Structures are given as C-alpha cells and as structure tokens.
Amino acid sequence: MSVLFEISPPSTDRDVWARLFGQLIREARECRGSIEYVAGRASMPAAEWAAIEAGEIPTSIEQLETLAAALDMEWRGMVALVGLCRDAWGA
C-alpha cells in the first residue's frame, strides 16, 4: 500500500498563534519594503527577520522594540499584536 499524502502532526494552539503573529509582522513589513530593507533597519540578518515572519517568536522585549522601530510602529501597536497573539508565548 502506498501513501498518497504525508500526514503532518496537528499544530498546537501555540504554533497557530505564532504563525499569526508572523503573518501580522509580515503584513506590516510589506507596507515598509523588502525583508532585507526592514531587517537592515533592525540591524538583524534578513534570515532572522524571515524566521519571525514564519512563526519564530521573539524572546525579549528588546527584540519586540526593535521590530516595532524597524516597522515605524508605535509601541502600543506592538503591545496590541503581542496581546492578540499572547498564546504564542505559551501559558
């Protein structure tokens, strides 16, 4: 018997919220320019920025502040995104 498709493990709620956070960051970044441009503004490698857009969650307030500054986002806007996606950071 052959496998017609690969079954992937179900996403956890945390993964879903992490991907949503990344998507929201991507949408904000697209208003500003390329990953390379915005990552440069944040003094981070483009690969690191891309990882955040793919759902890797920043682990410090400093990282969130850097993202907000690179996106010309007010801090309260970033706080709102984090609040919306708070389950991405776990309980």
| Domain assignment present for 29 | yes
| Domain assignment present for 2 | no
Per the structure, how many domains does the chain have? 1
Question: What pLDDT, on the 0 to 100 scale, is given for residue 57?
Answer: 96
pLDDT at 1 over 50: no
| Domain assignment present for 1 | no
Give 90's pLDDT tier (boundaries 50, 70, 90): confident
Dihedral sign from CA coordinates of 69, 28, 24, 46: negative
CA distance 69 to 52: 15
* CATH number of the domain enclosing 34: 1.10.260.40
| Domain assignment present for 35 | yes
pLDDT at 11 over 80: no
Reported as a single tens digit per residue, the pLDDT across 16-74 is: 999 999 999 999 999 999 999 999 999 999 999 999 999 999 999 999 999 999 999 99
| Domain assignment present for 7 | no
- DSSP 8-state symbol, 1: -
Domain extent at residue 33: 13-89
CA atoms within 13 A on the CB side of 71: 24
| Domain assignment present for 32 | yes
Question: What pLDDT, on the 0 to 100 scale, is given for residue 91?
Answer: 58
